[in-house]
Amino acid sequence: MSERAVIEDWPDIYRARRDAIREVAAGGVILWLGHLPQPRNYEDNTFPFRQNSHFLYYAGLSEPALALLTYPGKDHDVLFSRPATMDEIVWSGPGRTREEAAREAGIGTVEDLDRLGSHLARARDKGLKIHYMPPYQASTVLRLGELLGIHPEAVRAGVSRDLVEAVVRQRLVKEEVEIAEIEDALRVTDRMHRAAMAAAGPGRYEYEIAGEMQGVALAAGRQQAFTPIVTVHGEVLHNHSCDNVLADGQLLLNDSGVESPRFYASDITRTSPVSGRFTTVQAEVYETVLRAQLAAIGMIKPGIPYVDAHTHAARVIADGLKQMGLMKGSAEDAVTAGAHALFFPHGLGHMLGLDVHDMEDLGDIVGYPNGQERSRQFGRNFLRLVRSLEPGHVLTVEPGIYFIPALIDKWEGERRHTDFICYDRLKLFRNFGGIRIEDNVAVTAGGVRVLGPGIPKSVKEVEAAALRR
């Protein structure tokens, strides 16, 4: 179904990735633990399974209960897997054989999972350092403690800093095949967003729209890359409830994206009018967000610090709000003081890859290189990415304007930034909601490429898609 522009040989791709990372272990062994199923309300009723992204990056295998040891020496990898019991075959089917899975990952040797401990013991006896990534699931912490013969509380201190840094370096720069995966995901995400715009209308419920979208994803054999945000209360930034009824005059904010066949994420936000037509005021705010987004995208090229695009987008927003009589004074000074964050209280974007916030399990090392620290200023403190951009980086650009009644009341009560904010006029916007526009872009040698098939974005395009019902 999906057209592929890139010739792929995934076993070779995984092999090459492992050969690059094993250099970093400098003669040591790297332990990659795949995920176990996570119980939902009892042991056998589990959450939908999602493999660990580092495991996917280096082996591509999406089944539970796998492990991988990367030994020194080219192509020396051992996959560990549990042989299926007869009961498991009866209840869950035979699945593919371990040998088939290993071949797909370009791995020549397969062993039983319960031999992993003795492999690690032998490596330790030989004085080889065992490198591993920081765990974020409780079951992984416990397994690491057991496998390494240390107390679970000591697991975090033993994480390999060298490995983490090298994984970040490697995964940050996307190969063509990875960008093709993200674009593949975006083709389904496009259809999902169009379906949502067309399905929205007065009297329908947010969950009905979410259901239409999920239908598109499931019918394409895809999972969501994260819990979708589908709401008329776009001012609640990560609003995961969706039981409001849609009314004429409201805006529907939809932040969602599916995964590709190899589990790469897409992450798109569109905001559309429930009635099919923006009001004049809505269109004015919308155009401001769009101007900020296009200006930020236009700045992206190798060498530019992403924080500069964030700051510029904030200024465009402050300027637009000035024209609407909601802000005053110098837009530049307002942004330096942080006054714009009343309306734009989050970061411009984040890295995207196998994770929707790529490698967020590794912390700020992804977006803040060389120990740079996050700003303490409200709004800017939520910026996940400041680093200088390089060809192959894939990231989101997602400015927004929101009217958050509780925040407005607090700032007004504290008489915060009264030089820049027109609190009186703001009263007219209390029930406005929020607008965010988000695209996924790749940094190229010459600048930037917006990924995906062109999801409706201008006022005209969004209205046309919303009226198609």
Interface contacts to Mn ion, rule CB under 5 A: 267, 396
Q: Check if the beta carbon of residue 293 is closer than 8 Å to that of residue 285.
A: no
Q: Which of 40, 441, 433, 45 is nearest to 249 (CA)?
A: 433
**Cβ at position 382, least distance to Mn ion in Å:** 12
Kindly state the smallest distance separating residue 358's Cβ from Mn ion, in Å.
Answer: 11
Task: Report CA Rg, the chain.
Answer: 24
Closest approach of Mn ion to the CB of residue 357, in Å: 7
Report the residue number, 135 or 456, with the smaller CB distance to Mn ion: 456
Residue the block writes with tokens 């530049």 = 332
Measuring CA to CA, which residue among 392, 403, 389 is closest to residue 432? Answer: 403
Kindly state the smallest distance separating residue 65's Cβ from Mn ion, in Å: 31
Residues whose CB is less than 8 angstroms from the CB of residue 249 and which lie 6 or more positions away in sequence, other chains included: 274, 275, 279
Q: Which is nearer to Mn ion, 267 or 358 (CB)?
A: 267
Through-space distance between the first and last CA atoms of the chain, rounded to whole angstroms = 26
Output the smallest distance, CB 438 to Mn ion, in A. Answer: 5
CB of 230 to Mn ion, least distance (A): 14
Q: Least distance from C-beta 437 to Mn ion, angstroms?
A: 11
**How far is residue 231's CA from residue 183's CA, in Å, rounded to a whole number?**
25
Which one, 55 or 226, has the nearer CB to Mn ion? 226
Nearest residue (CB) to Mn ion, 322 versus 436:
436
Question: Backbone dihedral region of 279: left (phi > 0), alpha (psi from -120 to 50 degrees) or beta?
Answer: beta
The CB-of-270 to Mn ion minimum distance in angstroms stands at: 12
Strand-strand pairing, 400-402 and 77-81: unpaired
CA 108 to mean position of chain CA atoms: 32
Q: How far apart are CA 27 and CA 133, in angstroms?
A: 17
Task: Report yes or no: 110 and 99 within 8 Å, Cβ to Cβ.
Answer: yes
Q: How far apart are CB 350 and Mn ion at their closest, in Å?
A: 6
Which one, 60 or 234, has the nearer CB to Mn ion? 234
CB of 450 to Mn ion, least distance (A): 14
- Select 133 or 448, whichever has its Cβ closest to Mn ion: 448
* Cβ density class 240-266: b for 16+ within 10 Å, e for less: eebebebeeebbbbbbbbbbbebbbbb
242, 230 Cβ separation under 8 angstroms? yes
